[in-house]
Amino acid sequence: MCGIVAYVGDRKAFPILVNGLKRLEYRGYDSSGVALAQNGSIALYKKQGMVKAMEDHALLNDTSGTTGIAHTRWATHGQPSDENAHPHLSNSGNLVLVHNGIIENYQSLKDLLKSEGFVFHSETDTEVLVNFIQYVQDKEQCKLRKAVRLALTQVVGAYAICIYDKDKPEEIVVAKMGSPLVIGLGKDEKFIGSDATPFLEYTKEAIYLEDGEMASIIAGEELDIRLIKTDGTVAPVIHKLQMDLESIEKGGYDYFMMKEIYEQPRAIYDTFRGRLLPEQGMIKMSGMEEYADKFRNADRIIMTACGTSWHSALVAEYLFEEFARIPVEVEYGSEFRYRNPVIRKNDIVIAISQSGETADTLAAIKMAKSAGAMVFGICNVAGSSIARETHAGAYTHAGPEIGVASTKAFTSQVTILTMMALELGKIRGEFSTSEYRALLNELNNIPKKIEKVLEKKELIEQISALYKDATNFLYLGRGVNFPIALEGALKLKEISYIHAEGYPAAEMKHGPIALIDENMPVVVVAPNNGHYEKLVSNVQEVKAREGKVIAIVTEGDKELLDSSDHVIEIPETLEALTPLLTVIPLQLLSYYIAVMRGCDVDRPRNLAKSVTVE
Ligand code: F6R
C-alpha cells in the first residue's frame, strides 16, 4: 500500500507530483505529503486526509522546486496524522525520504539510533529508515547512493523508497524490495511512480525496478541501476507502456466503480481477444500452451488469491472440476503461506490477483515455487510483481481498475479461468466437441448479455432505496453461484459499511436462519439452472420468517416472481456461465446503497486497492 511519486527535471515538480498522487490514491489515502527542493532547502508539506487537503495547504506556500518526492499513505506504523505522513526528514535535516512497505526490524534499528542520540518525531518505520541512512552516511563518510545501499543490506522488510539530499537535489536515489517502483524516462527529465499512471502524459518509456535493485536518477543522465547486495551493475530493460490517459479517467461517471461496472462487456471482450476463437472452435492461450504437458499430467490444481480474487478462484473450482475432472483446492494466500501445505511437483498452482502486488499472494507463489510446483499467474496489471514472479500466466486485460471495490477485474478473472477450465477439459479429453463448442459460443455471447443486465440499473436503484438503511444483509447462493453470494456480501460491506454475510443457501438452516426477521434483506442468487428448486424452498423458508427477499432470477421466472419481494432478471445462459451475469446486479446494488448512504464509493474507509502488506 501507499503510493510514491517523484520527479527530477526542468518543470515545476509540484503539479506533476500532486496529479500523480491523485492517481495513486487507490493505494492509500489517509494522509499525503511532498518534499520539494527549492532555494537550497527542503520545502515539506504534509497533511492528514486526501491529497487535495495537502495540495490546498501547500499552495499557500512556495511550490516552485523542480525536484520533488511525494507520498500518499495507508497507515501501518502510527495512525494517520500530519506527523506520520511522509516524506520524513533525517535529524540532520539533509535527507528526505518516502517509503512504501514495512521495515520489519525497525524497532532494533530505532533502539540503536536512539542510543546514538537520534530523536524521532513520528511513530513510523520510515523515519527510522531515513535516520539509519543518515547514520550510515555519517559513519562511512560516503555518497548518498552508497549510504542507501549499505543501510539497506541491514534492513529486513519490504520497501520501495525515494530519497534525496538537500545539498544535491539533482539526484534521487531509489530502491526496491517487495513493493513496486517504476521509472519513467523523459528526454531531460525522469519520473518515478508506484505504477506508471503518474507520468503517462509525459512518457511511454518505463523501467520496472526488480526486487533487490536500486538506481541513481539524475535528469539528463543514463540510469545507473545496481544490485543492493553486491553493487553489481544491471542493464536496464525499457518497456513501452500500452496504457492511455483516457483509461485512467472517470469519463463522465460519478465514480470509477460505476465506470468499471459499465466497462465489463468491453473488458470481457478484451479478455477474449485473440484467445476465444468460436468460429474455429478453439481457445488459444499461449501461457497454457507453453506448459501443455504439465497441465495434461497435473494431479491437482491449487488456486491461491485474496478477497474478490479468491472468490473468482472459488468459481473456478467448480468449473475446473466440472469440465476437466481435476481436483482443485482454493487457498487464501495468507493461510497457504503460513501453513506447511503439501505441494507436489505434479501440482499446478494458479495465483490470481488484479493488482499483481498482493503481498500474501506473492509470498504464497514464492513458497509454491520453492516446493517445485509450476505457478501460473492471472493478473490485470502488466509487469506487476506477481506477473514477473510466476512461470507462465495470462493477463486479464480488463484495463486499469481504480475503484477500490473490484468489479471488472473479477469478471475478467472468471472469464480467463472459464477459458482455462474449458481448455484443460479439452487437453485432458473430458469433452465432446459439441459440448465444447456450445460453451465457447455461449461464452462469446456473455458481454451482450451483461449489457442487458446493466439495463436493469433503474430497478436496482429503486430496490437500493428501500434497503439502504438496513444494518445487515444475507446473501445466499448454491453451486457455482455460492461464491457470487460471498462476492455480493463483500461488495456491500466494503463500500457501504453494512454488515453482510454470504452463505451456501443450504447452510442457512444450520445457524443464520436465526437472524431472519422482517428487518433482514436476503439476496438469493437463483438462476433457473443448477439448484433452482432447492433455492425456491430456501426462499420459502426466508419468507416464512418474514425476511425480505431480493432474488436474482432468469428472465421469465414465475415461481420466484410470486414468492419474492423483488426479482432482478438476468438473461438465460448455461449454468457454468451464470456467475458472469448474476454478479452484475449485486455490484449495482452495493454501489447504489453506498452512494445513497453518502459513502465515498471509490475510496472506502480503511481500505486500499493494492495490499502490499501482509
Ligand atoms: C474487494 C477487493 C479486494 C481484492 C484483494 C486482492 O473488492 O478488491 O478484496 O480483491 O485485496 O487484491 P488483488 O486481486 O489485487 O490481489
Per residue in 393-434, pLDDT (tens digit) is 999 989 889 899 999 999 999 999 999 999 999 999 988 889
The CB of 494 under 6 Å from ligand 1? The reply is: yes
Q: Which residues are CB-neighbours of 415 under 8 A, at least 6 positions away?
A: 268, 271, 272, 396, 443, 446, 580
CA of 488 to the centre of ligand 1 (A): 14
The CB of 308 under 6 Å from ligand 1? The reply is: yes
Which position among 2, 162, 379, 599 bears the catalytic label? 2
pTM summary value: 0.79
Q: What is the mean pLDDT of residues 542-564?
A: 94
Is 245-451 CATH 3.40.50.10490? yes
Concatenating the DSSP letter of every residue in 498-537 gives -EEEEEEGGGGGGTGGGG-STT-EEEEEE-SSSSHHHHHH
Is 2 an active-site residue?
yes
Q: How far apart are CA 495 and CA 482, in angstroms?
A: 21
Amino acid at 153: T
Give the nearest ligand 1 atom to 610 CA.
15
Dihedral (Cα; 466, 469, 473, 475), 10-degree rounding: 40
Q: How far apart are CA 150 and CA 147, in angstroms?
A: 5
**Residue to probe by mutation, ligand 1, list 311, 396, 406, most atoms within 8 Å of CB:** 406
Percent of the chain with pLDDT over 70: 99
Exposure b/e, 375-385, CB count within 10 A at least 16 = b: bbbbbbbebbb
CA of 169 to the centre of ligand 1 (A): 37
Phi, psi for 100 (deg, rounded to 5): -120, 120
Select from 96, 127, 98, 103 the least CA-distant residue to 114: 127
CATH code for the domain defined by 455-601: 3.40.50.10490
Q: How far apart are CA 214 and CA 224, in angstroms?
A: 8
CA of 437 to the centre of ligand 1 (A): 32
Per residue in 123-173, pLDDT (tens digit) is 999 999 999 999 999 999 999 999 999 999 999 988 999 999 999 999 999
Place of cell 434483506: 521
Question: What is residue 605's predicted lDDT score, i.e. its pLDDT?
Answer: 86
Question: Max alpha carbon distance in the chain (Å)?
Answer: 81
CA of 547 to the centre of ligand 1 (A): 31
- Residue ranges per domain, the chain? 3-241, 245-451, 455-601
The CB of 97 under 6 Å from ligand 1? The reply is: no
**Residue to probe by mutation, ligand 1, list 314, 354, 496, most atoms within 8 Å of CB:** 354
Q: How far apart are CA 560 and CA 566, in angstroms?
A: 9
**Residue to probe by mutation, ligand 1, list 179, 334, 355, most atoms within 8 Å of CB:** 355
Per residue in 232-251, pLDDT (tens digit) is 999 999 999 987 777 777 87
Q: How far apart are CA 317 and CA 118, in angstroms?
A: 54
Q: For residue 399, what is its C-alpha cell?
A: 484495463
Name which residue sits closest to atom 4 of ligand 1, judged by CA. Answer: 307
More confident residue, 508 or 140: 140
Q: How far apart are CA 598 and CA 341, in angstroms?
A: 44
Name which residue sits closest to atom 3 of ligand 1, judged by CA. Answer: 307
Which position among 190, 294, 548, 609 bears the catalytic label? 609
Exposure b/e, 538-551, CB count within 10 A at least 16 = b: bbebbbeeebbbbb
With H, G, I as helix, E, B as strand and everything else as coil, classify residue 424.
helix
Which has the minimum average pLDDT: 124-138, 246-260, 460-474, 543-557?
A: 246-260
| Mean pLDDT computed over every residue of the chain | 94
Question: What is residue 29's predicted lDDT score, i.e. its pLDDT?
Answer: 77
Question: What is residue 1's predicted lDDT score, i.e. its pLDDT?
Answer: 66
The CB of 309 under 6 Å from ligand 1? The reply is: yes
Give the nearest ligand 1 atom to 311 CA.
10
Which residues partner with 31 through β-bridges? 48, 73
The angle subtended at Cα 208 by Cα 207 and Cα 210, nearest 5°, is 130
Fold topology of 3-241: Glutamine Phosphoribosylpyrophosphate, subunit 1, domain 1 (3.60.20)
Q: What is the mean pLDDT of residues 550-561?
A: 95
Rounded to the nearest angstrom, the gap between the alpha carbon of residue 333 and the centroid of all alpha carbons in its chain is: 14
Per residue in 47-85, pLDDT (tens digit) is 999 899 999 999 999 999 999 999 998 877 778 899 999
Give the nearest ligand 1 atom to 333 CA.
16
Whether the Cβ atoms of residue 489 and residue 500 lie closer than 8 Å to each other: yes
Rg of the chain, C-alpha, whole Å: 26
Amino acid at 233: T
Given a cut of 90, whether residue 385 has pLDDT beyond it is: no
Q: Which residues are CB-neighbours of 34 under 8 A, at least 6 positions away?
A: 13, 14, 17, 18, 21, 44, 45, 46, 54, 58, 68, 69, 70, 71, 87
Q: For residue 37, what is its C-alpha cell?
A: 527542493
Domains 3-241 and 245-451 share a fold: no
The CB of 126 under 6 Å from ligand 1? The reply is: no
Name which residue sits closest to atom 16 of ligand 1, judged by CA. Answer: 353
